Every structure is written in C-alpha cells, then in structure tokens.
Structure 1
C-alpha cells in the first residue's frame, strides 16, 4: 500500500535496472565515463506559483488552476517516462546518492566495510568495458544447467535455483507474515512466470494491446538471437514462449481479485499440496531452494498450481528450456554486454512506456547500489541529509493527523459504538516509523568485488533470497523496513500495522521548513493522512491492530462501509484518461486513502490553528502564496503533489496495471467530495468541482 508508483514505473521503463545475458562477447569498448560530479537538479518549491494557471476557474478545473503551466515548464526528459514532484525529488536524491557512492569508491584503504561494498558495487557496475569483454561467461554455469536439461524431472531444482536469483520462472517462493497470525513468518508459494506486467496484457483485444504483444514476442526473439540462436529459430521459439506465458496468464489471478487478502491466503500442508503439482516435486524443490524445514505453507493461488502442472506436462521440454534461457537473460540484462541492456530497454522502456532513451549509466548504477545495499547506503544518506529536527517535526505532524483520525472515528454517524471502539484500538496500536530503521542490516556475508558486476548482482540476489527464506518459522521482526531510507515514497503495512516514511520523502517540496504550515500540511500532511487511511480502507480494514486478518466489524457496519466504498469506486470508474476508463475497483484502496488523507490533514491543520489561538504556524506566506488564505494554500499544495507531465504510453500502462488513479483524477476525485474545498474557493453545486453527489468514507 504505497503512496506512489514512481519506482515501479522507472523499473518498467528499464530505468531502475533489470539485468540480462549474452553468449558471445562483444568487442571491447572504452569504459563508460564516470562523472566526477553531476548537476544537482532543481527542487520544485512547495508552493509552486509558476505551475499555476490562474486564468482557470478553480471551481471548473482545479488541476488546471493549480498545475496548468506545469507541463510547459517541465518537459519530460528523454530518459524518463514522466516528470512530477516525486520524480523531481527522486532526481535530486539520486544526485545526492551519487556523491556518496563516489566518495565511497575513492575513500582509500581505510574505508569502512560498508564503504568498500558500496564503492566496489558502483565501480563494477560502471565498468562497461569489462562487462562487454566478459560477455555471458558469468552466466554460463546457469545457462549450462538449462541447456543440459534432459528430463522435466530436473526442473524443480533448476526452478528453485532461478527463484533464488529473483528469476521467478513459473513460480514465486518466499516468506511472508502469516495473515492470520501476525506474530510469525511462514512460507508462501505464488503464481509467477510472466514477462508482461499482468495477466490482462495477454488477453486485451484493442489495437495497442495486440501491437504490444507482437513487440514482446519480437523482444523474446531478439534476446534468444543474442544468446546465439538463428533468426528463424529465435522467432519460432519466441512464439512458443508467448503461448506458454499465455497459458500461465490464463490460470493466474487478476490484479483486482488479488486485492482481496482472503483470496491469496490458503494454508496447506506440504504433504497435501505436493500431489496437486507433482512436476514441482515439492520435497526436491524445497531442498534445492534452501528453505528451512516446513510442514505447511500458504498456497496463494491454488488454481494456478493445478493448471501449472498440466501446462508443464503439455509443453515440450525444448520450449521450457528456451523460456528459462530467455527469462534468465532478460533478468540480468543490465549487467551483460550492451546489446542485452539496450534490447531490454527497447521493450520495457520504449515500447511499454514510450521513453525515448535510457537513463545514463551512472544513475542506473546508483539506484542498483541502493537496491542491493540499501541499509549500507542508507546510513550514509541519513547521516548527511536527514536531521533530528526533520524527524521531530514529522512525528509532530503524524501525531496530529492520528489525533484527527481518532476524532473522525468518534464522530462517525455510520459506525456502531462497538466497531468504533475496535477502530480506535487499532489506531492507537499503529507504529510510526520515520526516516530510517532503528537497526541496520549487516552485509558482512555478502561479497562485493570491484571487477565483477554480474557476479555482484547475482550474489546480492542470492543474499537477499537467503535473508527472506531465513525468516520462515521465526517471529516477525516488527522493526524491519521494506523501503530504503533515500526512497521518495511512503507505505502502510497492514500485517504490521505501521506507517512508514523514509527520509527521502521528508524533503522539499513535500516538507519544507521554510514554507507555511498550510503548505506543508497540503503536501506531506496529505501523504501522512493517505498512509494512515490505508489502515482503514477496503483492504486495511480487514486487519486488526496486531496485523491479523480478522473481521472486527459488525455486519451492519461492514455493510455501511461497503456502501461508502462502492460510491468511491463508482465515482472513479466514471473518469477517463488516455481514452481509457479508470478501473475504480483496482484503484479503490488508493482512492479511499487519497480522500481520507486530505480530509485528515485538513482536520489536523485546523486543530493546530485552534490550539495556537487562530495562528496556523510556520513562516508567513510570501509571493503569490500570500494572496491565498491558509485553506486555499492547503488545497493548492495538495493538488501540486500531483502536477505531472506523462507520456501517453505510460498513462495507458498505469491505468491498466497500477492501483493509483491518474494524477489529475487524484486531484478531482478528492476535491469533488470535499465541502471544505467548495467553501474555500466559493464553489457552488452544479459547477464541475462541486457535484451534488459526494462520496465519503473517512
């Protein structure tokens, strides 16, 4: 339940580094130039007067009013699928991280163990000369295992080995918090094996989807050709692989259905599950993957595995081998010779999201270092860029918004006293995590070398897999974070009942000590309220204060809740963008959080004003901001969270796969439902921003 999709979007665009492989080495080239320093991107101000189109009537189109000039002022860089507030800060933080990794790279013989790993990981990643020279040699052992397959009985151990390298061919095995006993970690096996974003991409019949499937088949063929297959052979194999993936997609659960936690929770004994999928030979699979001894596991999508057994039985071994070769290569593309890297970007960046060119190597290597060594790099980041005062102010705001949530629950006219009591109990049990974890992970057992880019990536993946598998059967570590400190995002974890705000997002424009309190509450306050509301949206509301999947609602209160969320779903389903209708059922959780988040942030702001004797607090507004009341500043700041410029292909991909509504709709959908907005801007019923029917959950 994350606030934004920016990292997923960058990954989909081939920007956050997918990896891959080659069978023949290419001619050696000069190494990629390492910039000694990079330009620090300009951070957009919290109240961005330049983005506003004040000729627009705020009661007709508030997004145009708050963000109408944004796209003209912020053309999309050629190496990005979109540009917005999140990407602006992401670019700023990437430049900051670059300074840290370069310092670690050149820190000398007395550098710390973490600096050695950070510096050497980055150095190896940047050494394209050596990467091109080595070709696919580092992947030869795994390629040989695939090529040497003579029987499907050998598949379980091979699939397990690939899974440990985050190549989720056919299945995805790992650990998770037990949804009904949040105190322990359990094993989980889930559907996997698709190269397109989700099952819907395999079956939509519109012209764009048909073309994208054709491009994906060509991408498969291109990768196989790079692995040494002839053009004709690669094209034939690619079609067979596409049919195999289509069969897997047919039995996969859709993204809307997967939002219901009950539908992906099915505890079975290993003994009972094994006969449903004999092709996996579960005892052999579990042994090969290195899982601790287990007697039961969560079979997330039982029907998938029944179908998987038949799919593997009916698919020729040659097709399975080519499928595994392709996914192994595509997974490691960015650590292989440049043809693989470029081919991976050509599909996942250019075809899927419309991004014209790949990000410079240094950016991708910085982000890859953060992904592999997040806690090590995070320690350096928070020491340099995150102060105790930032954490203190963030906590003050969080506590104020939690107080507002408590009042909102108490004042609810659709919940019974019994359910209110349970809701308040859950609210008071929420743990607030700000900035960075209390305890840092150790990377002592992870070997990083300055001249082994692919090996570093492989070892980092295996290290992470072992870390996750080692949790099985143990108590849950409630201090663990699932984002690195520099991340420009935030999340709510229903199984741990925590809200988490990495240091990376607690920076301008989302939080700026030089801005009026009204602006900060519109920015980061709405973010805090958003994550808090996730604990009480259609998914989070099914979990209790301890993180257990438990029905704590009376039947009538749940009915009342569902009626209110249905109003939200129907509202958002009526919106369109890029010629597509928003799927209100897919975006329901995020839409509910957006609506509740702004409402709670405004409540907290008004409470702060009342407590301070009518003074909102913070620096006085200056410039154009001073022309607006604090309430108006709040709503403008909220809307400017979502000022963006996005490529049409990216918009389509997100509507079809992302649980967040498009940016302009995130603004309109919320403000359509807020009488406080209507009052602040003197809007009247019947104007576009003040519909007669309004939806409200929190």
Structure 2
C-alpha cells in the first residue's frame, strides 16, 4: 500500500541564444571583467547544460517560458505507441529500465546459480514473468485456490477473514491495512486502515455524469464481462453489473482526493476496543487476528466515515454480492500475471481506455518493473555500482547543504513570520536528514522464495513477506535506514514522520543533475528538486510536522493565518490554469506540490547566488548565469502526455502538469521578471502585490 504521508517529486508526473526573441524586451548584459575571464573559461569547459535544440524562438519567453524552452521538442516529439507520456522524467525512466534489464540479463546468464541466493531470485522472477508459454498453459489455475476459497465463503465472518487474507497476498480488498510511523508519536510504528477497493481511479469516475465518464463506466462493465468470459467463469454479465453496483456503493463512502490530503483529518487514533462502535458489522478481532495485528491496543483509522460506511455495506449487501466482488478483485489484481488473453484484456481497459496507451509495453519492460517491485534493492546494489559515481554523491551532498543554508537565510528574511515561528522552522530545517543515491543498509530478501515457473506464487509470497516485514516493525525501534524508493527510481521524496529528504541515484542525471555542466543549470535542475523536497517539509501538510517528525502545531496563531492566506492565493492562481478548454488544474489538490515547486526554485536561486560568493557568474553559450538557471529549471518539466492519461492525472494526481509547474513558479519570482524583462503586458505577468511568496 502507498505511503500516504510521503510527498514525492512526480506521478503523477530544457550557439548563443538571446534571452528574448526579436519582438521581446531584451536583457542587458554587462561585459565580462578580467577577473571573471578565468572562471568563464573553466565553466565553458564544462558546458552550459542547456538543450538548445528544444527551444522555440517564435514564442516570447515573457508569455510562455515553458514553450520557449521546450516548444520545438514538444512539436517534434511523438509519444510511442507503448507509452502514454514522454519527457525528462519519463525518458530517464526508460533509460533506467534499459540499465536494469542489462543487470538482470547478466545475472540470469550466470551459470549454476545456487537456490536461495539473491541472484537466483532475480533470474527466476524475471524468467517466470517472461515465460508466456507456461503462463498460457496455466490459464487461471494460479488463482484457482483463491477463487475456490471465495466460493466457500459461507458467512459475513468468513468474508471479513478473506478481506484480511486477500490483503496479505496482494489481492483486492475494500480497506487497506498497513504499518507506518505514528504521525503524532514518531518514535513508534502504528497500524493503519486506509480506504480502498475501487477499480476506477477515483470516486468521481463513478458519479460524474459527463459523457466521457459515462463511456468509461460502460467500458468498465463490458471489460468485467469479457474478463469473466476469458477466465471461464460463469454469469459474466450479471457479475459485471453486481461489481459495478457494489463498487459504486463503496465509492460513495470514499473521501475525495482533496480530503485525503489532509493529514489532520486523516489522523484518527482508535482504541481497538472502540472499533465495534465505529463499525459493529465488521468482526475486528477476526480481521486483525488474521492479519497478525491483534496484539496492538490501538489503530489509526484514516477515514472513519468510510470504515463506518463499509461496515454498513457489509451488513446490507447480500453475501453473494460480496463474493462476486471479491472474485472480481482477485481476477483483476492478478490479471497482468496470468495468460496472454487476460493480460491483453486487462491492458485494453486500464491502459488503453483509461490512459490512451495504444500498445502494450514490450514484455521485457514489464518484467523489469516486476523485478524492481519485488526485488528492487537486490538490483539496486548492482545499479549504483555501474551508474552512480562517488563524485556525484559528494557533489549532491554539497548542494543539499548549500540549499539548507539558503533556506535558513530565507526564513530569517521572511517579513510575515514571527521570531518564535522562525526559530521552530529553522530547528526543523536543521534536522532534515538527507539520503542520497542508495541506502546505507540493504533490504534482506532471504525469507522470499522465488520459483522460475510460478509467477503468481512469487507475487503472493512477496506480498506475504512484505506484510510480515511490516508486522516485525511493531514494537521495534524506528528504522531510519529504510528507503521507500529503490536507487533505480527516477523520483525523489520527503517523508514528514522521518523528516527526511531522499534522492535516488537514477534521478541524479541530466537534465536534473549534470556533472559536466556548470553550477547554474544544476542549481536550476537538481537544486530545485532538492528545494522542492525541503519545501514539502513546509508545505500546507508538511508544515504540520516538527523536526522530530511529530504532527504538532509549532506556529503562532497569526503566522498560521498568514501562511494559510498565501496558500489560498496559490490555490486560486493554479485554479486558473486551463489544461483543456473544459478542464483546469485543481489548485486545492495540487497545493502541496505547488508550494514545493515555488519553494524549490526560490531557495535554489538563493543558493546559486550564494555559491558565487559575490562574484559575477560567467557567460556561457551567450547566456548569463541567471538565464541558465531559469532555463535549467524549465528543462526538467518538459513532457508530453496522451489526453486520456492527462485527464486522469488532473483528476487524481497532486502534482500539476509539468508546464504549469514551470510557469506557475516562475510567474511568482521577481528575479525571473528582472532576468527576462517581463512587463505588465506580458502573459506571464502577475502584479507584484498578487505574487505569492511563502518561503
């Protein structure tokens, strides 16, 4: 289950050029002095790191800086049939897949791999996924035991017990159980319940009456019926109608995507003895006992009204309906690991209909994803040896500390924040724990049994091992070496209960981080990423946590009001960005990420200027340091996405589309206005009194 408190960077989800085109106001440049000539020569040897071929000089940078920097790339780039998106993030992910494939194939080619070794597990897991002949011969037999168990359910207690069992093996379940740090007592792990159980992306998909959503719902019902036919299960049409009706009832109980972002509302600590009053028709002792979590005295219920509503549905819905629902949940959760026919139909709805993906990925890419999912840190150990130099880690550590120092300076300079709140903010900043590249301690997979001819079994056993690993945390000290992303993941995250900022090795590459480029583009790229993750510690949710990772109020009342007002202004700004004629960005859903972006670029700029030690930045490829900085930032957000996928993202993803992540942040920065001569008549202009400055 997802780590619901973590703020990540993306889903989810650029020959001397003048700063402006012939119709734009130009930026004056002072001639280089003799004292900067040597620095210029050194920097030019590194290169600017700017991808000039992507520029569209027919666009005025003051009107649309994103298209100015990325427009030609966007015009000339097609989305491959087996993908829904391309761009800086996505292309690096493709590169990571290639790199991991090479590691897997090298491992698999090793003769006489001993059973139980990490190498044997990697080779056999990949083999079990790639062996479609065996999968086709097996058909649905790998899940027959589960389907038989569902058929044997004879009471509501049996149903509750199966909910827990299905959770443990990685199957479907209407509520998700997981173990994570207690947000109000970060020195301990706690058990949690999170709403779950829907096949469609979000509750609005079940109720929105727009034609697009009606078509999706009709296609979903047809998909269920087809899956039943392919699986050889009876009464597919009736089953599809039952599943749709019950999922709609479950969706009606769900909190929406904005509500579930609120870490205050989702923290609800219950004593186990109080659960029967919340949902009396759920046998809690049976449920938690089956999970192995009945020895705890309390549990955090993230959405109490959902759990209450689910209990009502357990009571009101016929047992036969619930059995059909669980039959479907089992079939759909494991469909991608079964026969070609089921896998293809699963793709047709979830990838093609929902996200516009024309063709499936080559199977090897999905095999790589499966290895990353189940044995990620085994591959990660080899990945960092091949693809992450010690010099890169050292330079990143320096950048992180420079950003930390700039953040502290910025807090000191805030005009709207009181001395007491500044002190608390700086205490939290000083306690940020940066993790760069890879874990200090690698995950142990010794308890996981992997077989070369049992893909579904591998997936189920891995889920059980992961579940038990969570149970082992209960009562144990907090594991501060644990990572929630593998080194080969192109992303980054902030974890508020650990107060840690984490940067996997795979994102530390161009255009984000370029060892061959000068500092300007690196501060604009990975510097803004570092600042973004630090910014999550001070976004609308992260700011509820202190330096120890505890959710508590460390603000004065007046400062909190001012902070909220600035957040509201950012919500209104992003609500105004039109993704399509009929769809705008959801400013409330994306507020945390938008604060992260704005904070990130603001602090990265301060850190870059501070790194110059009062000297003038060299001019490289005809661009000043400030120009390279802002271009470096905008390069990292280049991306292109299928319309279906983008609409899905806007509905469910707390990140704004990449274009608006660039434009929204830059439109609030006076330094950007000064660098590119943005005037009141320009499209990116926001009046000074309406520009948002938070950190």
Corresponding residue number in structure 1 for 2:64: 61
Corresponding residue number in structure 2 for 1:204: 208
Give 1:2 deviation, angstroms.
4.0
Match of 2:668 among 669, 673, 677: 673
* 1:3–1:527 contact (8 Å) kept in structure 2: no
CA distance in 2, matches of 1:280, 1:464: 25
Corresponding residue number in structure 2 for 1:583: 586
CA distance in 1, matches of 2:66, 2:474: 47
1:469-480 alignment to 2 at 5 Å? Answer: 469-480=471-482
CA distance in 2, matches of 1:497, 1:382: 24
3-state DSSP class of the match of 2:650?
Answer: helix
Give 1:110 deviation, angstroms.
5.3
Structure 1, 66-75 or 407-416: larger mean CA deviation: 66-75
Corresponding residue number in structure 2 for 1:20: none
3-state DSSP class of the match of 2:192?
Answer: strand
Corresponding residue number in structure 2 for 1:241: 243
Give 1:276 deviation, angstroms.
2.9
* 1:291–1:470 contact (8 Å) kept in structure 2: no
CA distance in 1, matches of 2:317, 2:239: 12
Do residues 688 (structure 1) and 683 (structure 2) align?
A: yes
Do residues 75 (structure 1) and 72 (structure 2) align?
A: no
1:135-154 alignment to 2 at 5 Å? Answer: 135-154=139-158
Match of 1:521 among 523, 528, 550: 523
CA distance in 1, matches of 2:72, 2:281: 57
Corresponding residue number in structure 2 for 1:642: 637
CA distance in 2, matches of 1:436, 1:192: 31
Give 1:73 deviation, angstroms.
2.8
3-state DSSP class of the match of 1:125?
Answer: helix
Deviations 1:533-577 (A, max 9, x none): 110010000000000000000000000101111111110011111
Give 1:292 deviation, angstroms.
5.7
Give 1:694 deviation, angstroms.
1.0
3-state DSSP class of the match of 1:298?
Answer: strand
Corresponding residue number in structure 2 for 1:97: 100
Match of 1:335 among 334, 337, 354: 337
CA distance in 1, matches of 2:610, 2:376: 38
User: How large is the Cα RMSD of the aligned pairs?
Assistant: 1.5
Do residues 166 (structure 1) and 161 (structure 2) align?
A: no
3-state DSSP class of the match of 1:265?
Answer: coil
Distance 1:110 1:176, change over 3 A: closer
Corresponding residue number in structure 2 for 1:461: 463
Deviations 1:600-636 (A, max 9, x none): 111111111126x4346xxx84xxxx12211111111
TM-score, reference length from structure 1: 0.91
Corresponding residue number in structure 1 for 2:303: 301
CA distance in 1, matches of 2:496, 2:400: 17
CA distance in 2, matches of 1:57, 1:614: 26
Match of 1:596 among 594, 599, 612: 599
CA distance in 2, matches of 1:209, 1:133: 37
* 1:156–1:279 contact (8 Å) kept in structure 2: no
Corresponding residue number in structure 2 for 1:608: 611
* 2:49–2:516 contact (8 Å) kept in structure 1: no
3-state DSSP class of the match of 1:432?
Answer: strand
CA distance in 2, matches of 1:166, 1:260: 27
Corresponding residue number in structure 1 for 2:118: 114
CA distance in 2, matches of 1:224, 1:476: 44
Structure 1, 338-347 or 470-479: larger mean CA deviation: 470-479
1:520-539 alignment to 2 at 5 Å? Answer: 520-539=522-541
Corresponding residue number in structure 1 for 2:568: 566
3-state DSSP class of the match of 1:496?
Answer: coil
3-state DSSP class of the match of 1:610?
Answer: coil
Corresponding residue number in structure 1 for 2:184: 180
Structure 1, 345-354 or 212-221: larger mean CA deviation: 212-221
CA distance in 2, matches of 1:637, 1:287: 53
* 2:157–2:286 contact (8 Å) kept in structure 1: no
Corresponding residue number in structure 2 for 1:25: none
TM-score, reference length from structure 2: 0.92
CA distance in 2, matches of 1:417, 1:539: 21
3-state DSSP class of the match of 1:334?
Answer: helix
Deviations 1:621-676 (A, max 9, x none): 4xxxx122111111111111111111111111111111011111111111110110
Structure 1, 235-244 or 377-386: larger mean CA deviation: 235-244
Corresponding residue number in structure 2 for 1:52: 55
3-state DSSP class of the match of 1:501?
Answer: strand
Match of 1:632 among 623, 627, 635: 627
* 1:155–1:280 contact (8 Å) kept in structure 2: no
Structure 1, 95-104 or 334-343: larger mean CA deviation: 334-343
3-state DSSP class of the match of 2:186?
Answer: strand
* 2:140–2:338 contact (8 Å) kept in structure 1: yes
Structure 1 unaligned spans of 5+:
10-44
